[in-house]
């Protein structure tokens, strides 16, 4: 699976082929996208899906006069249902936030896969804490057949309270949650910056390097299904001389459902 903030319509026609090239290289079974725009003439998620051979589900976080803005999930696996839920508002002037969740069929098991995008300001930790508690509610209702997967741009570094909560390291209002950080499991000593000044699009904002994009996975099933096998940064170099986005992406590979210790199908990318 893979997650990428596609930077809405900024320099879209210049970047879009680089996005497609990267997705086709990684070939994920499931793809979470953030900052997706849908207008009467264009749905970025549908356009990307058509170029990569995937099915697209779009979930609007905000609706405006000429466009909708939100998250998307692209899938090569059968999509059984979808649900888009609003998240708590951030500071004045922030765009609306939401989490889009689809239920997919993973070799006969129902799995929950979500794409989300949290408040972006550095001092919006209070809002992100509310938002991750709402994400925990979504996770708590996920099918028990396969570990829930939540991907996206959390706009929060790994040591923040909101990320410590989602990883089971900090309680908020007497509540706890636990999802594994796939990249951290595989690369515990690598900062894994997904917002980096190496990327000229990100460098324009002159903000520090940070890791703010994640693939998060619930506790694996008893037969090992959902165990993180690999994780890496993607979209971390140009294609055709163009960077795909201002963010880097994250990709992970999970163990497929099996009987006992034997896999039933290939790993879930």
Q: Encode pLDDT of 22-33 as tens digits.
A: 999 999 999 999
Residue 16 lies inside a defined structural domain of this protein: no
DSSP labels, 87-121: ----STTPPP-EEEEEEEEETTEEEEEEEEE---S
Structural domain harbouring 105: 79-263
208 in Cβ contact with 173 (< 8 Å): no
Residue 225 lies inside a defined structural domain of this protein: yes
> 89-124: per-residue pLDDT in tens?
887 778 899 999 999 999 899 999 999 999 999 999
Residue 11 lies inside a defined structural domain of this protein: no
Domain CATH number, residue 222 = 3.60.10.10
Q: What are phi and psi of 24, to 5 degrees?
A: -65, -30
189 falls in which pLDDT band (50, 70, 90)?
A: very high
Nearest to 11 by CA among 238, 249, 250: 238
Q: Is the pLDDT of residue 261 over 60?
A: no
Q: How far is CA 236 from its chain centroid?
A: 16
Q: Which residues contact 94 (CB under 8 A, 6 or more apart)?
A: 119, 120, 121, 124, 127
Residue 53 lies inside a defined structural domain of this protein: no
258 falls in which pLDDT band (50, 70, 90)?
A: low
Residue 121 lies inside a defined structural domain of this protein: yes
Q: What are phi and psi of 215, to 5 degrees?
A: -110, 115
Q: Which residues contact 174 (CB under 8 A, 6 or more apart)?
A: none
Residue 126 lies inside a defined structural domain of this protein: yes
Residue 151 lies inside a defined structural domain of this protein: yes
64 in Cβ contact with 50 (< 8 Å): no
> 216-249: per-residue pLDDT in tens?
999 877 788 899 999 999 999 999 999 999 999 9
Mean pLDDT estimate for the chain: 94
Residue 10 lies inside a defined structural domain of this protein: no
Nearest to 31 by CA among 69, 60, 58: 58
Give me the number of domains the chain comprises: 1
């Amino acid at each position: 699976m893979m997650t990428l903030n596609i930077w809405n319509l900024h320099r879209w026609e210049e970047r879009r082929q680089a996005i497609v090239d990267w997705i086709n290289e990684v070939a994920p079974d499931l793809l979470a996208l953030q900052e997706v725009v849908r207008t009467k003439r264009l749905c970025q998620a549908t356009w990307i899906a058509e170029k990569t051979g995937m099915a697209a589900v779009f979930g609007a976080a905000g609706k405006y006069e000429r466009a909708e803005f939100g998250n998307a999930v692209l899938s090569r696996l059968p999509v059984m249902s979808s649900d888009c839920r609003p998240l708590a508002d951030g500071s004045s002037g922030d765009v609306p936030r939401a989490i889009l969740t689809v239920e997919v069929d993973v070799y006969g098991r129902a799995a929950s896969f979500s794409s989300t995008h949290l408040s972006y300001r550095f001092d919006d930790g209070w809002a992100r804490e509310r938002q991750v508690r709402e994400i925990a509610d979504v996770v708590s209702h996920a099918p028990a057949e396969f570990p829930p997967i939540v991907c996206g741009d959390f706009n929060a570094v790994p040591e923040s309270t909101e990320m410590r909560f989602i990883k089971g390291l900090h309680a908020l209002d007497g509540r706890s949650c636990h999802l594994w950080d796939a990249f951290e499991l595989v690369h515990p000593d690598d900062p894994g910056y997904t917002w980096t000044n190496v990327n000229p699009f990100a460098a324009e904002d002159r903000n520090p390097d940070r890791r703010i994009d994640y693939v998060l996975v619930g506790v694996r099933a008893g037969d090992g299904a959902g165990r993180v096998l690999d994780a890496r940064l993607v979209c971390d170099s140009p294609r055709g001389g163009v960077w795909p986005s201002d963010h880097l992406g994250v990709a992970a590979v999970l163990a497929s459902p099996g009987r006992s210790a034997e896999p039933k199908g290939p790993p879930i990318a």
